[in-house]
Structure formats: C-alpha cells, structure tokens
Amino acid sequence: MFYWLAKFVLLGPFLRGLWRPWTEGLENIPDDRPAILASNHLSFCDSFFMPVMVKRKVTFLAKAEYFTTPGIKGFFSRLFFAGVGQVPIDRSDSDASRAALNTGVRVLREGKLLGIYPEGTRSPDGRLYRGKTGVARMALESGAVVIPCAMVNTDVIQPAGRLIPRLRPRPGVRFGKPLDFSRYEGMAGDRFVERSITDEIMYELMQLSGQEYVDQYAAKVKKSQGLDQEAFGARTVRELGDRVPDSRAS
C-alpha cells in the first residue's frame, strides 16, 4: 500500500513536477508477465526515477545495509525501503549471493517486475562496467525476459556525495526491446552461457545509454583506486561539474 501511496501521492507527483523526467520505450515493458529490468547504475536516485515512470510495481533487490543501519537514519531507511516492498540482500559471501538469486527468482515466479543493477554498484566515473552474471542466472531459472534500461543524466543531477539533486538537466529512462533467452533453457549454472547472456545484456545497455564500456567490475575499480564513499563522492562531483548534459535537458 505504501508503494502506491508514495508513487501517486507522496513522491511521484513531486518528482514529475520538479524534474520532468522523460521516457522512451515504455511499451516494451509487458503488462502482465514477469520481467527483469536490468539497468545501468549512475546515481542513488536511479531507484526513484525509474519506478515512478513504470505503471507496474518494480521490486528491487536492495542491499541489506538499508535495513540494518543503526540510529534515526537507519530507522527511516528501514521504514521507507520495507514500506515500498524492496527486498534486502546480504552481499557478504557466496551463500548470501545464492540466497539473493533465489529471492529474485521467487519474485519473478510471482509474475512481478524485478529491478536489478548488473554492475553491482554505482559507476565510479559515468562509464558502463562489466555485468555480474546473477542477472543471467535469474533469467534462466525463472524464464523471464530481460528489459535493458538506461538511466540518463541522473549522475549529473545527483552525483555520489550530493544529498539534494540538482533540478537540471532533466533525467531520462530508455527501455529497450525485451531480450528472450529461452533458447538457453535448462542451462542455468553453465558459467559460459551465463557470461554470454550477461555480456549481451550489457551490450544492449551500452547501445541504449551511449556510455563507454569498461570490461572490468566497477567494485574492483573502486577498490583499486582506494575510493571510500566520501572520497568517491567528492571526486565525482568535481569531475561531473562541467559535463555537457543530454540534448533532452532543455
């Protein structure tokens, strides 16, 4: 109930009125079938602008820290993410990863839309990074189609480290054609098949977003650069300050 209240009363009208987000390809999202919305990840606000533009409910696999942070901030974080029906996942070890995959498959088998960021974390510099194969495993085990989803300009209006998003340029969402991997039915667990599927998804995301592709995991790049969250945010703000916005910004 809180999801629909937030979307149509508390949050949705506010986001639409102030930022005027645009969309392309909404017709590619099925009306009554399960589907995985596989998105690039540029900003914290991706998880707000994309669902508010989709008429069906989108369930995200959210990191467990949103539900376990102590104090007042943690209380409101738990209240919000639980209220909008997001599912916590523990990313600390392989058993937790398997549990996250099982949860995603369960959501899809219930006929729902599942939102996922194949890169696993926000891009450190606006480029598109190598996808993790969990998205392929869930597609194979559930039989759901994958809808590539490209967020545009969200890293400009709210780079990491910035609390309040800028009002311009306008954020956008592009939804690509559904990707059907039924030809690989019964091949879940084959790492070569799952890597091939994931790379196909990331290629479609690259085409939709126009981002430069980097064949490395974003998390490893952040770690190698020694970027804690505060330093990452401060550097990203500086680097994006003079970036030319998308042509739809006006």
Identify whether 250 is part of a domain.
Answer: no
Dihedral angle sign, alpha carbons of residues 198, 196, 145, 205: positive
Instruction: Read off the pLDDT band of 137 (50, 70, 90).
Output: very high
Q: Residue 149 belongs to a domain with what CATH number?
A: 3.40.1130.10
Comparing 136 with 5, the larger pLDDT belongs to: 136
pLDDT score, position 160? 81
| Range 155-184 average pLDDT | 91
| Range 199-222 average pLDDT | 94
With a cut of 70, say whether residue 211 has pLDDT above it: yes
The total number of structural domains that make up the chain: 1
List the domain range (segments joined by +) for residue 198. Answer: 2-243
Identify whether 198 is part of a domain.
Answer: yes
Identify whether 248 is part of a domain.
Answer: no
With a cut of 90, say whether residue 216 has pLDDT above it: yes
Q: What is the mean pLDDT of the chain?
A: 83
Identify whether 233 is part of a domain.
Answer: yes
| Range 197-221 average pLDDT | 95
pLDDT digits over 20-70, tens only? 999 999 999 999 899 999 999 999 888 889 989 999 999 987 767 667 778
| Range 7-12 average pLDDT | 75
Helices (H), ranges, the chain:
2-5, 12-19, 46-52, 65-68, 71-83, 94-109, 134-142, 154-157, 191-209, 218-224, 229-240
Instruction: Read off the pLDDT band of 88 (50, 70, 90).
Output: confident
Identify whether 70 is part of a domain.
Answer: yes
Residue (of 156, 181, 116, 179) closest to 239 by Cα position:
156
Identify whether 237 is part of a domain.
Answer: yes
Identify whether 249 is part of a domain.
Answer: no
